[in-house]
Amino acid sequence: MDQGLTLPGAVAVIGGGWAGIACAVELANAGHPVTLFEAAKQLGGRARGVDWNGIRIDNGQHLMLGAYGATLALLRRLGTAHRLERRRLDFRLPGFRLALPYLPAPLHLASGLLLAQGLTLVEKWAAARFMQTLKTWRFRLPEDLPAAALLRQQRQPATLISRLWAPICIAALNTPLETASAQVFCNVLRDSLAGRRADSDLLLNRCDLSTLVAEAAIKRLGIDFRLGEKIGGIEPGQNGFRLAGPQVEAEQVVLAVHPARLPALLAELPEMAAIADAVAAFTWQPILTLWLHFATPVDFPFPMLGLDEGLAPWAFERNDLAPGLVAIVMSAEGPHLRLPATQWRDATLSLLARSLGPLPALLDWKTITEKRATWACTPKLLRPGNATPMPGLYLAGDYTVDCDITNGYPATLEAAVRSGVKCANLILSSKG
């Protein structure tokens, strides 16, 4: 029988999304040997570059925030942090604008709200009162509930919800307000609007996502990247774990796969049944990105524009990828997914023209639908931590959370990177 490969002392990371990459980079940085197995031919997972007629676009437009401390640290380590454009928060929808000025917190939020366009004084006061109430509660709810229920409980006016709270919730949690976790929504508000001024800044990648992370990571020494190597399952081995597929034995394993793939990988490990069952109960939310290639650059007053209120698309100027490129993002489930792509494209072009005026000629377009873009961030979701009941086996990914849900982020790049780094630190501290 083929004995396969043994990785004495090395950590096997399974999955090369941003969580797996962050874990591997952190381990390699501490001089720890690490082998990363990625099923696809490229790294990046749900945040990667995609070739389209000779242009490298992103599989989906991503937005980062100044509060993404772990992501910024990773990019600094990879030497690509300068590829992010930092803009102070400027939330623009038709008939509404919230721009946060360069003032220290909390003055930036107070004056931003006071000067916001498209809200009455009563609505501005309601927004300030809501943030103050959350602050008094230290952003910890007595019990998790749907975000819409919390906003009703806090008597937030309908216009304020559809212009401010719903767009933030859908953009951050990728889950409609009616089913989104109010506690995780509060966590996001705490770390962005109620954080330091710079935490609310918008960070826009000005190169494709593969250039930003995957390709920079692959150039790093000390990580053995195995692309196109899918792990079929995990069993206990003589000195740790045996991985099916490439037939590898490793003492320590970090599972950094999409949570939808986790239960199947854990099927042979009865100790992991409770975690596998919890993750098998997750449900998923899609994200649709429409890429538009115009003959000439489109004149955006700000690189990111909301095209309407509530559950509406956001447009991003992406001239960095090719002159005239625009990405339109539609988060979460909704009736748009049932429309023929051409009909949705035309409806979106009308919204874009309403905001920006006549558009240049459209040369080409493409939609990318990620059906399982994120796990649905619903109230009281049972999410596992990084450590597991099996010593030497760890979980990394945007879905993990430590025991306190007030630290829990929604499915985001920051959640993935934090989780990967935390796994690496657990492994390093276990080695003493």
Ligand X SMILES: Cc1cc2nc3c(=O)[nH]c(=O)nc-3n(C[C@H](O)[C@H](O)[C@H](O)COP(=O)(O)OP(=O)(O)OC[C@H]3O[C@@H](n4cnc5c(N)ncnc54)[C@H](O)[C@@H]3O)c2cc1C
Binding site for ligand X (CB under 6 A): 14-20, 37-40, 45-47, 59-60, 62-64, 230-231, 256-258, 261, 287, 289, 370, 373-374, 397-398, 411-414, 416
Nearer to ligand X, 116 or 203 (CB): 203
Cα separation, 75 vs 66, in Å, equals 13
User: CB-wise, 324 or 420, nearer to ligand X?
Assistant: 420
- 242 to each of 13, 42, 245, 281, 314, how far by Cα in Å? 13, 24, 10, 26, 45
Name the residue with tokens 């772990």. 70
Question: Which residues is 250 bridged to in the sheet?
Answer: 7, 241
3-state DSSP call for residue 305? strand
Instruction: Give the shortest CB-414-to-ligand X separation in angstroms.
Output: 6
**At closest approach, how far in Å is the CB of 278 from ligand X?**
16
Nearest to ligand X of 62, 242 (CB atom): 62
Query: Which is nearest to 392 in space by CA: 4, 3, 10?
Result: 10
Nearer to ligand X by Cβ, of 46 and 422: the residue is 46
The distance of closest approach from Cβ of residue 148 to ligand X in the complex, given in angstroms and rounded to an integer, is 22
3-state secondary structure at position 335: helix
Measured from the CB of residue 67, what is the shortest distance to ligand X in angstroms?
11
Taking the complex as a whole, the smallest distance from the CB of residue 374 to ligand X amounts, in Å, to: 6
Helix axes 18-29, 69-78, angle to 10 degrees: 60
In sequence order, what are the residues at sequence separation of 6 or more whose Cβ sits closer than 8 angstroms to the Cβ of residue 311?
166, 170, 176, 331, 332, 334
Which run of H or of E encompasses 215? Answer: helix 215-218
With both helix axes pointing from N to C terminus, report the angle between 182-191 and 166-173 in degrees, rounded to the nearest 10. Answer: 90
Q: Which is nearer to ligand X, 305 or 411 (CB)?
A: 411
* Strand 64-65 to 284-294 pairing: unpaired
Q: Least distance to ligand X from the beta carbon of 132, Å?
A: 27
Q: What angle do CA 339, 344, 350 make, to 5 degrees?
A: 150
| C-alpha–C-alpha distance, residues 253 and 69, integer Å | 25
Tokens of 122: 């009563």
SS3 call for 170:
helix
Min dist CB 59 to ligand X, Å, is 6
Bridge partner residues of 58 (DSSP): 49
Nearer to ligand X, 130 or 185 (CB): 185
Q: Between 156 and 285, whose beta carbon lies closer to ligand X?
A: 285
How far, rounded to the nearest angstrom, does the alpha carbon of residue 187 sit from its chain's CA centroid?
A: 14
Q: Min. distance of Cβ 261 from ligand X in angstroms?
A: 4
Please identify, using beta-carbon distances, which residue of 160 and 184 lies nearer to ligand X.
184
Shortest Å, Cβ 22 to ligand X: 8
Which of residues 200 and 374 has its CB atom nearest to ligand X in the complex?
374
DSSP structure class, residue 248:
E
